[in-house]
Amino acid sequence: MSDLITPDFVDLDLVAADRHEAAFSLASRLADDGRVTDLAGFLADVRAREEQMPTGIEGGIGIPHARSAHVTEPTLAFGRSAAGIDFRAEDGPADLVFLIAAPAGGDTDHLTILASLARRLVHASFRQALRDATDPQTVVDLVNKEVLGR
């Protein structure tokens, strides 16, 4: 299995008018790498998941995610938005956005990644480290250490 997140999947200057544009921008990085085989199909799955329940969580975080037949392996993309993006969280827009892409049969991988990420994101120090990161590799290192325990 390849790395869950790579510097190519990190956008420290994410510009998006809304959550759908943010998902498109991050998912495009995964499609460019071959981890998403059908961008429109994957985005339809993300949108369908978003319609079930908002994926914004307290602390300025958006976690759009989906299991999809258009995903080849569990992957995580990250974007940081200076303007903030509305993921319909009660406390306002998200400046930290994690896109979780999981294969259709990858129920446990998807939930494990989501749960581990959510546990770390409750810590202000982790969120601040993501906000302070100066380059994509720093984000990758933070996620590998804090979320994956590597």
pLDDT of res. 111: 75
- Whether the predicted pLDDT of 51 surpasses 70: yes
pLDDT of res. 106: 61
- Whether the predicted pLDDT of 115 surpasses 90: no
- 150 assigned to some structural domain: no
pLDDT of res. 83: 96
- DSSP, residue by residue, 13-38: T---SSHHHHHHHHHHHHHHTTSBS-
Burial label, 1 (beta-carbon count in 10 A; 0-12, 13-18, 19+): exposed
CA distance 146 to 89: 23
Degrees, nearest 5: CA angle 80-85-89: 110
Assign residue 32 the CATH number of its domain.
3.40.930.10
- 3 assigned to some structural domain: no
Q: pLDDT higher for 117 or 107?
A: 117
- 149 assigned to some structural domain: no
Cα-only R_g, the chain: 14
Q: Are 65 and 102 in contact (CB under 8 A)?
A: yes
Give mean pLDDT, residues 129-139.
Answer: 98
- 4 assigned to some structural domain: no
In the chain, how many domains are there? 1
Q: Which long-range contacts (CB under 8 A, 24 or more apart) does 30-35 make?
A: 30/71, 30/75, 30/77, 30/99, 30/101, 32/8, 33/6, 33/8, 33/9, 34/72, 35/71, 35/72, 35/73, 35/75, 35/101
Residue pLDDT, tens place only, 58-84: 999 999 999 999 999 999 999 999 999
Give mean pLDDT, residues 124-146.
Answer: 97
- 110 assigned to some structural domain: yes
| Domain hosting residue 44, numbered range | 9-144
CA distance 66 to 47: 9
The residues carrying an active-site annotation are 65
- 81 assigned to some structural domain: yes
Helix (H, G, I), strand (E, B) or coil at 76: strand
Residues β-bridged to residue 66? 101
